[in-house]
């Protein structure tokens, strides 16, 4: 779930521009809820479990990570699956801090905003020039994706139930392509590219030596080492 907001058009009406950006991003992102639903069922979850993940967790990267680790390690890899999903969710906390002054209002509004704070709602929201546009962009994007992502998850899970052999339809390769798609928009500078390459190599090298799920967690240490020392970083984040 990392589609960038389309370039803001020079529209006189900031509200209309925010709604258009929100609908464009929201509908495109919702569509690949189908791939999550199908892959979740293929990894051994039932339709209910798949839908609860999209309803309750509602964060694409974390959801894909959870089912990816469960698919290779089963319930025995449960702790590693939880850790992977949680670590991938940390960025949402930063988005929340960024959105908090924009959302404002009573506690129940912040509670709902928290649930809907994801890559896309933050990106569309903060890309708008006015406070009103920022609020509209955030809420419309979050709402459209929440409804669409959950509907498409259900469709994908039901379709996945019909598909028998995962490998014959290339669904294992689809999962790899999904992770790459979430990663791709983040490879914008030398530092993230170097971290990505190092993490991929370390995780692959550790696969024969560690239980499923752990190679991914060990590879994450690269990010902490590079992030704290800021090697290859240039100026700031």
Site for another protein in 102-131 (CB under 8 A): 103, 110-111, 113-115, 117
Q: What x-and-dash track marks residues 35-74 binding another protein by CB under 8 A? A: x--------xx---x--xx--xxxx-xx-xxx-x-x-x--
Smallest separation (angstroms) from another protein to the CB of 228: 6
Residues 21-40 within binding reach of another protein (CB under 8 A): 28, 31-32, 34-35
Residues 142-161 within binding reach of another protein (CB under 8 A): none
Other Cβ atoms within 10 Å of 65 Cβ, number: 25
Residues 170-189 within binding reach of another protein (CB under 8 A): 170-184, 186-187
- For another protein, the closer of residues 14 and 67 by Cβ is 67
- Could you give the CA distance from residue 138 to residue 134 in angstroms, rounded to a whole number? 6
Residues whose CB is less than 8 angstroms from the CB of residue 73 and which lie 6 or more positions away in sequence, other chains included = 80, 81, 211, 212, 213
User: 127 is written with which tokens?
Assistant: 């890309």
Q: Is 168 in the site for another protein (CB under 8 A)?
A: yes
Number of residues that bind another protein (CB under 8 A): 102
Q: Which stretch binds another protein (CB under 8 A): 12-20, 131-139, 140-148, 212-220?
A: 212-220
- Could you give the CA distance from residue 151 to residue 153 in angstroms, rounded to a whole number? 5
- For another protein, the closer of residues 129 and 233 by Cβ is 233
Among 8, 24, 78, 143, binds another protein (CB under 8 A): 78
Q: Is 94 in the site for another protein (CB under 8 A)?
A: yes
- For another protein, the closer of residues 103 and 127 by Cβ is 103
Residues whose CB is less than 8 angstroms from the CB of residue 88 and which lie 6 or more positions away in sequence, other chains included = 59, 61, 62, 65
Smallest separation (angstroms) from another protein to the CB of 17: 22
Smallest separation (angstroms) from another protein to the CB of 13: 27
Instruction: Tell me the Ramachandran region of residue 230: left when phi exceeds 0, alpha when psi lies from -120 to 50, beta otherwise.
Output: left
DSSP string, 19-61: HHHHHHHHHHHHHTHHHHHHHHHHTT--HHHHHHIIIII--HH
């Amino acid at each position: 779930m990392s589609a960038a907001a389309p370039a803001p058009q020079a529209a006189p009406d900031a509200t209309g521009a925010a709604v258009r950006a929100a609908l464009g991003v929201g509908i495109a992102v919702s569509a690949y809820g189908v791939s999550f639903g199908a892959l979740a069922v293929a990894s051994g979850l039932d339709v209910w479990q798949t839908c609860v993940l999209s309803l309750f967790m509602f964060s694409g990267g974390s959801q894909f990570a959870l089912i990816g680790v469960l698919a290779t390690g089963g319930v025995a890899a449960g702790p590693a699956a939880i850790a992977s999903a949680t670590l991938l969710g940390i960025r949402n906390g930063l988005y929340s801090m960024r959105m908090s002054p924009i959302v404002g209002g009573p506690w129940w509004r912040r509670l709902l905003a928290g649930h809907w704070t994801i890559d896309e709602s933050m990106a569309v929201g903060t890309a708008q020039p006015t406070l009103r546009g920022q609020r509209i962009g955030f809420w419309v994007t979050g709402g459209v994706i929440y409804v669409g992502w959950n509907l498409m998850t259900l469709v994908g899970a039901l379709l996945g139930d019909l598909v028998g052999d995962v490998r014959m339809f290339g669904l294992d390769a689809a999962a790899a392509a999904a992770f790459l798609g979430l990663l791709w928009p983040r490879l914008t500078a030398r530092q993230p590219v170097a971290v990505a390459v190092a993490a991929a190599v370390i995780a692959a090298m550790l696969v024969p030596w560690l239980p499923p799920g752990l190679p991914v967690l060990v590879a994450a240490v690269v990010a902490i080492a590079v992030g704290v020392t800021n090697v290859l970083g240039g100026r700031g984040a």
